[in-house]
Structure 1
Amino acid sequence: MQNTFRRFVRYFFSGTLFIVPLVATVYFIFVSFVWLDSLLSLPYPGLGVLLILIGITAFGYLTTNFAFKTAGMWLDQVINKIPLVKLIYSALKDLLGAFVGDKKKFNRPVLVRINKDNNLFQLGFITQPDLNDLGLNDMVVVYFPHSYAFSGFHYFVSKENVQPLNVSGPQAMKFIVSGGVSGFREQT
């Protein structure tokens, strides 16, 4: 009887490990779609999301056009002259550019020695490899994301304590965000 109960509990937790991430992902996508739809309050569900996706794609197409690039650069210059707006706009633009676009920043995962005495290391990403302008020739800036959060710390680290890793940026980010649970192997 006790073996049957243990097997039942094991099956339950195995099912939970499969179902919970799946349901949470579907729920997040559903809530996001409902929220986006509510912004436009159109009569058909999903039409708002479709219009937003088409609008963003069209805007992306236009930004590759030379005339629009010139207008975009002009708008960037205007926005960057407004003190508080410049701070928010440029920070968000740089953050998004770090994940997508031509200037991806989280593509150089490294292992950093945090404590020499205890041989303690932390995984991070080099975001600024050259600090010569600051007179810090032997240092780099490393960003350390937090697990299960959209935050992290960045530190100026001596190059001697930084070891490049032979894994992709997305694999390293997944490893960090999952608290080390996901591992480095690609799941198929």
Structure 2
Amino acid sequence: MSPQPDPAVSRPDESSAGLVARLRANFLAGLLVAAPISLTVYIVWAVISFIDTQVSSLFPPSWGLSHYLPGFGVLLALVGLTAVGALTANIAGRLVLAVSESLLGRMPVIRSIYAAIKQVVHTVLAQKAEAFREVVLLEYPRPGLWTLAFITGTTNGEVRACFDEEMVNVFVPTTPNPTSGFLLFVPRRSVRLLSISVEDALKMVVSTGILTPDDVVAGAGTTPPPLAAAIDGGGGGA
């Protein structure tokens, strides 16, 4: 009569499979913790190194500023920008700025580039418009499908004259790269204003919808129009 196997003794293959599963779980857990920290440190350090290299090129190489003083370029850039802002606040600084802009305005190609960059920078930094201040839902690219978008301003000029109602400029970002997307002119009644922040909306776009803000109460502060009314009123507006 052959002896019966002891059920308390696990098989070697089962023990190995359990060990591999635990190692894989620990590896994934470590990756989830280390990857965001490592990427953040790498990006910050890359930006600092780039600025240090550009600023240090203005000084003699024998000084070795970027090598002996990491972050010196960033500090110098901050001081320089602050000094430029202080200079342009007085009459002499405004005169120099006006002369410089006048010279740039006479150059055929450069004046177009400068004007576009100046307008974008003033819009974003000086906040002269409600650029990227409102997150909306937009029925796009066809009725029944909705996407996150950002109102970048109110439609004006010749484009506005083509419509009989208030229009808004809407930027629809692509996923997972929100730096590219589409500019749409949409009737204001066709968008649903959301109460989430721009940062939370960008997280949703970058993560392809994996990260969803869980602290937002639907309809907080605003009452979105019914779905049927939104489809009937703005389905063909985009």
Say which of 129, 138, 141 aligns to 1:112.
Answer: 138
Whose radius of gyration is greater, 1 or 2?
Answer: 2
1:25 aligns with 2:40: yes
8 Å Cα contact 2:136/2:149 also seen in 1:
yes
What is the alpha-carbon distance in structure 2 between the residues aligned to residue 58 and residue 182 of structure 1?
41
Deviations 1:78-100 (A, max 9, x none): 53453322322232233334443
TM-score (norm 2): 0.65
Count of aligned positions: 183
> For the structure 1 residues 182 and 97, does the alpha-carbon distance in structure 2 shift closer, same or farther, using more than 3 Å as the test?
farther
What is the alpha-carbon distance in structure 2 between the residues aligned to residue 170 and residue 124 of structure 1?
12
Task: List alignment gaps of at least 5 residues for structure 1.
Answer: none
1:58 aligns with 2:86: no
What is the alpha-carbon distance in structure 1 between the residues aligned to residue 80 and residue 105 of structure 2?
25
Amino acid at match of 1:13: L
Which one has a larger percent strand, Structure 1 or Structure 2? 1
8 Å Cα contact 2:133/2:198 also seen in 1:
yes
1:126 aligns with 2:151: yes
8 Å Cα contact 1:98/1:106 also seen in 2:
no
Amino acid at match of 1:16: L
1:145 aligns with 2:168: no
8 Å Cα contact 2:155/2:185 also seen in 1:
no
Amino acid at match of 1:43: G
SS in structure 1 at match of 2:65:
coil
Question: In the TM superposition, what is the alpha-carbon distance from 1:105 to its structure 2 partner?
Answer: 0.6
Amino acid at match of 1:6: A
Per the alignment, residue 79 of structure 1 pairs with 104
1:157 aligns with 2:182: no
What is the alpha-carbon distance in structure 1 between the residues aligned to residue 155 and residue 31 of structure 2?
46
Q: How does 1:86-101 map to 2 (within 5 A)?
A: 86-101=111-126
Say which of 14, 17, 24 aligns to 1:9.
Answer: 24
What is the alpha-carbon distance in structure 1 between the residues aligned to residue 123 and residue 164 of structure 2?
23
Question: In the TM superposition, what is the alpha-carbon distance from 1:6 to its structure 2 partner?
Answer: 1.7
Question: In the TM superposition, what is the alpha-carbon distance from 1:35 to its structure 2 partner?
Answer: 2.1
What is the alpha-carbon distance in structure 1 between the residues aligned to residue 155 and residue 164 of structure 2?
7
What is the alpha-carbon distance in structure 2 between the residues aligned to residue 13 and residue 83 of structure 1?
56
What is the alpha-carbon distance in structure 2 between the residues aligned to residue 132 and residue 180 of structure 1?
36
Question: In the TM superposition, what is the alpha-carbon distance from 1:8 to its structure 2 partner?
Answer: 2.0
Paired-residue identity, %: 28
Amino acid at match of 2:76: L
Task: List alignment gaps of at least 5 residues for structure 2.
Answer: 1-14, 58-62, 216-238
